[in-house]
C-alpha cells in the first residue's frame, strides 16, 4: 500500500514503490539483500523519495517482520520531548511526568525502529543514540536502571551528513555506526523513466476515489513531466495528478492541465510582480544592461550575456530548491561548471 496525504492507495509495486527503471531496481535489490541481515541501514535521499516505504520493506522482508515497526520523526520534536519519546521516563523525572512511560526503543524490542530525519537530533542526544547502537542499552529519563533492548536500527536523512560533520552539527562516530549499509533513494528527476508508471498509477487510483473515468495521459504530457525538475519528488507529482483528476471531466490528461511552472511558466505569486517567460526576462535584462553598460570598453554583448546567465542560474536554483545537481542537469552544464559560476556570481546563498 502507498500511504500519502492521509490517503491509502493500492499498488502492486515493490512494497508500495512504483517504478522498474535501473535506479529503482538497484534500490529493490539492495533492500531485499540487506533485509535478511540485522545490519543498521542508513537511507539517504531528498524528501518525498520513499525512504519510509523502503524502511518498512526492510522490516517486512526481515526475520523480525512479526515484531513491531516503530517510526520516530526526529525533526518533529524538541530535544527534551524527543529524549523522552525515544528513551521513556519515570514518574517525577520532570514537571509533567505524572507516570512512568515506555520509550520507542523499548516499544521496538524484537522488531525495527526507524529514525527519520536523524540529522535533526541534537549533539546531546547523539551521544545517547551512539550508546544504544553500540551497546543496545540505555536509561530512561530520570532513572538509573539500565534497560536492554533488541531491535534493528534504520535511520534516514534528506541532507548530506558528511557536510553536517564538517560543519560540526553531527558526530562522526555516530555517522559510521549508522552508515553500515547505505541505500540512496534517487530523486524523481533522476529516474524519469518511471514517470509514466507513476502517472498511470495515480490516475487510476484517484479516478476510483473520485468515481470518475480514468484519464489517459497524452504523450506530450508525459514528455513535459519528464523535463520538469521535481523538487517535491513523487509527492509533488501525486498532488498534480490528483488535482487534474478532481478538476477534469474529460478523458485525457493534457499538458494544459499541469500547473504553469511545470510547463515552464513562472508560478503565480500573490503580491509579486510576474514575469511570464524567459523572453520577457531577457528583454528586461538587455534593456537594463544597455543602460548600465553603454560605456563599457568591452562592448555590451559580454556584459549583457553575463547578466542574463546570472539571472537564469538564479531562477533555476530557486526552481530546484538550491540543489546544484538538479540545476546543472536542467541547464545542461557540468556540475563543476555550475559550482564555479555560482561562486563567480555570488549566488552561494541560493545554493545548497
- Among 3-12, 174-183, 230-239, name the one with the lowest average pLDDT: 3-12
Do 309 and 258 fall into the same domain? no
Mean pLDDT for 241-247 is: 94
* Residue 1, pLDDT above cutoff 50: no
Q: What's the pLDDT tens digit per position in 128-179?
A: 999 999 999 988 887 778 889 999 999 999 999 999 999 899 999 999 999 9
The domain tally of the chain equals 3
| pLDDT at site 276 | 43
CA distances from 76 to 71, 107, 117, 166 (A): 12, 19, 9, 24
Do 92 and 106 fall into the same domain? yes
- 249-253 — which CB contacts under 8 Å span 24+ positions? 249/212, 250/215, 251/213, 251/215, 251/216, 252/215, 252/216, 252/217, 252/218, 253/199, 253/203, 253/215, 253/216, 253/217, 253/218, 253/221
CATH, residue 89: 3.40.50.300
- Among 21-30, 37-46, 136-145, name the one with the lowest average pLDDT: 136-145
- Give 234's pLDDT tier (boundaries 50, 70, 90): very high
Do 138 and 49 fall into the same domain? yes
Please check whether residue 267 is in contact with residue 253, taking contact to mean a CB–CB distance below 8 angstroms: no
DSSP state string for 309-348: HHHHHHHHHHHTTT-HHHHHHHHTS-HHHHHHHHHHHT-G
Q: What is the DSSP letter of 288?
A: H
| pLDDT at site 5 | 43
CA distances from 259 to 240, 244, 308 (A): 7, 9, 25
In a domain, 26, yes or no: no
* Residue 10, pLDDT above cutoff 50: no
Q: How many residues does the chain have?
A: 352
Do 143 and 202 fall into the same domain? no
Do 178 and 67 fall into the same domain? yes
* Residue 226, pLDDT above cutoff 70: yes
CATH, residue 315: 1.10.10.60
| pLDDT at site 65 | 95
Q: How does the average pLDDT of the chain come out, rounded?
A: 84
* Residue 205, pLDDT above cutoff 50: yes
* Helices (H) then strands (E): counts for the chain: 14, 11
Do 58 and 145 fall into the same domain? yes
In a domain, 8, yes or no: no
What is the three-class DSSP state of 224? helix
Residue finishing a domain among 186, 217, 251: 186
* Residue 269, pLDDT above cutoff 70: no
In sequence order, the 6+-apart residues with CB closer than 8 A to the CB of 297 are: none
Do 155 and 67 fall into the same domain? yes
| pLDDT at site 6 | 41
In a domain, 219, yes or no: yes
In a domain, 19, yes or no: no
CA 332 remoteness from chain centre:
23
In a domain, 49, yes or no: yes
* Residue 70, pLDDT above cutoff 80: yes
Q: Which residue has the cell 512479526?
A: 66
- Give 8's pLDDT tier (boundaries 50, 70, 90): very low
Do 90 and 147 fall into the same domain? yes
Domain that holds residue 248: 192-263
Mean pLDDT for 28-53 is: 94
CB-count exposure of residue 5 (10 Å: 0-12, 13-18, 19+): exposed
| pLDDT at site 347 | 85
Residue finishing a domain among 170, 186, 202: 186
pTM above 0.75, yes or no: no
Phi, psi of 48 (to 5 degrees): 90, 10
| pLDDT at site 7 | 44
Amino acid at each position: 500500500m502507498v500511504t500519502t496525504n492521509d490517503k491509502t492507495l493500492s499498488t502492486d509495486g515493490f512494497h508500495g514503490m512504483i517504478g522498474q527503471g535501473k535506479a529503482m531496481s538497484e534500490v529493490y535489490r539492495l533492500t531485499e539483500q540487506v533485509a535478511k541481515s540485522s545490519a543498521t541501514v542508513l537511507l539517504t535521499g531528498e524528501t518525498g523519495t520513499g525512504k519510509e516505504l523502503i524502511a518498512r520493506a526492510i522490516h517486512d522482508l526481515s526475520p523480525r517482520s512479526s515484531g513491531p515497526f516503530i517510526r520516530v520523526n526526529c525533526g518533529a520534536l524538541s530535544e527534551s520531548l524527543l529524549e523522552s519519546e525515544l528513551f521513556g521516563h519515570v514518574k517525577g523525572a520532570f514537571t509533567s511526568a505524572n507516570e512512568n512511560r515506555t520509550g520507542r526503543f523499548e516499544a521496538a524490542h524484537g522488531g525495527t525502529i526507524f529514525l527519520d530525519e536523524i540529522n535533526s537530533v541534537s549533539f546531546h542526544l547523539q551521544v545517547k543514540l551512539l550508546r544504544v547502537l553500540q551497546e543496545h542499552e540505555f536509561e530512561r529519563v530520570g532513572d538509573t536502571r539500565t534497560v536492554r533492548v533488541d531491535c534493528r536500527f534504520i535511520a534516514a536523512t534528506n541532507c548530506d551528513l558528511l557536510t553536517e560533520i564538517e560543519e560540526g552539527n553531527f558526530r562522526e562516530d555516530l555517522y559510521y555506526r549508522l552508515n553500515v549499509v547505505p541505500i540512496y533513494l534517487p530523486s524523481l528527476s533522476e529516474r524519469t523513466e518511471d514517470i509514466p508508471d507513476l502517472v498511470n498509477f495515480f490516475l487510476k487510483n484517484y479516478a476510483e476515489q473520485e468515481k470518475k473515468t480514468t484519464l489517459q495521459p497524452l504523450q506530450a504530457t508525459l514528455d513535459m513531466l519528464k523535463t520538469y525538475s521535481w523538487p517535491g519528488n513523487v509527492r509533488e507529482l501525486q498532488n498534480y495528478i490528483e488535482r487534474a483528476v478532481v478538476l477534469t471531466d474529460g478523458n485525457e490528461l493534457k499538458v494544459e492541465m499541469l500547473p504553469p511552472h511545470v510547463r515552464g511558466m513562472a508560478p503565480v505569486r500573490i503580491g509579486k510582480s510576474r514575469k511570464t517567460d524567459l523572453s520577457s526576462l531577457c528583454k528586461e535584462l538587455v534593456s537594463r544592461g544597455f543602460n548600465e553598460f553603454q560605456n563599457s570598453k568591452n562592448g555590451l554583448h559580454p556584459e549583457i550575456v553575463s547578466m542574463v546567465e546570472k539571472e537564469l542560474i538564479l531562477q533555476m536554483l530557486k526552481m530546484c530548491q538550491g540543489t546544484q545537481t538538479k540545476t546543472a542537469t536542467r541547464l545542461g552544464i557540468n556540475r563543476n561548471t555550475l559550482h564555479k559560476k555560482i561562486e563567480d556570481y555570488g549566488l552561494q546563498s541560493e545554493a545548497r
